[in-house]
Amino acid sequence: MKKLILLIVFAGCLFSCKKENDDGVTITISKGFVNVFVEITYSEMKIPFETHIETINNVVYMYITDMCHTYDGMDGCYGRGFRHYTFDFVFKYQDKNQMYKILLITPQDEPVIISQGKVK
């Protein structure tokens, strides 16, 4: 009986649960440049994303924006399940006090902070 209950919970999560700790950020500094590699597991499928980066007051903002709602013919871009996405941001290293913030922008919710902190 316990196994059956666990299987039902697991099957339900395949369609509606955000898995914790599936997102990852790797920061490397080399030859004066910062490389930020971002991995996310998004609870939708076939999403077109746009990315951009800007610096405001020594904080580097990296935006990952879900663009599904802006494309004609993309009615099927949302689905049930999970898909793994990766993004790579590169920018010039300023100094040891440089901060960063990575945001996921979705049409449904407020921006989600994926990661933030000091570049190191």
Q: What is the pLDDT of residues 40-62, one digit of tens each?
A: 987 666 778 899 999 999 899 99
User: How many structural domains does the chain have?
Assistant: 1
Residue 3 lies in a domain: no
- Token pair belonging to 66: 């879900």
The answer to whether residue 25 scores a pLDDT higher than 90 is yes
Residue 27 located in a structural domain: yes
> pTM higher than 0.85, yes or no?
no
SS3 content of the chain, % helix, strand, coil (to 5): 20, 50, 35
DSSP, res 71: S
Q: Residue 89, CB half-sphere, CA atoms under 13 Å: how many?
A: 25
Identity of residue 110: E
In a domain, 8, yes or no: no
Is residue 104 assigned to a domain? yes
Q: Is residue 10 part of a domain?
A: no
Does residue 62 belong to any structural domain of this protein? yes
List the domain range (segments joined by +) for residue 49. Answer: 20-118
